[in-house]
Amino acid sequence: AQKVTQAQTEISVVEKEDVTLDCVYETRDTTYYLFWYKQPPSGELVFLIRRNSFDEQNEISGRYSWNFQKSTSSFNFTITASQVVDSAVYFCALSELTQGGSEKLVFGKGTKLTVNP
């Protein structure tokens, strides 16, 4: 079965510091997708990025960047020059095909990031 491990339960940084959130996954599928979601203190779940297993290019979106490495089964997320508004719980997730041919996401336990002013 698929598994996602986010070993960092909580991280606390000071504003403007760079911070990396780790995500390690396990899967037997050759084709799969990885996701990151953000959950701010208001509670909603916000989709950040999707990456398929064939695309190992790093991605950058403003202050956010993602490093996907199949060799180490990792999909890490870096926030550069963190801001207080980045304070949230961040979830990494992995797609899993079901027997019926549908699909579901398996989530890690999340990393709570606190950015202090």
Partner 1 sequence: DAGITQSPRHKVTETGTPVTLRCHQTENHRYMYWYRQDPGHGLRLIHYSYGVKDTDKGEVSDGYSVSRSKTEDFLLTLESATSSQTSVYFCAIKPLGSGSSPLHFGNGTRLTVT
CB 37 → partner 1: shortest distance, Å?
8
3-state secondary structure of 70: helix
Q: Which is nearer to partner 1, 13 or 49 (CB)?
A: 49
Which positions touch partner 1 (CB under 8 A)?
6, 9, 32-33, 35, 43-45, 47, 50, 52, 91, 93, 95, 98, 100-110
CB 117 → partner 1: shortest distance, Å?
25
101 dihedral zone (left: phi>0; alpha: psi -120 to 50; beta): left
CB 30 within 8 A of CB 70: no
CB 80 → partner 1: shortest distance, Å?
23
Joined tokens for residue 108: 């890690």
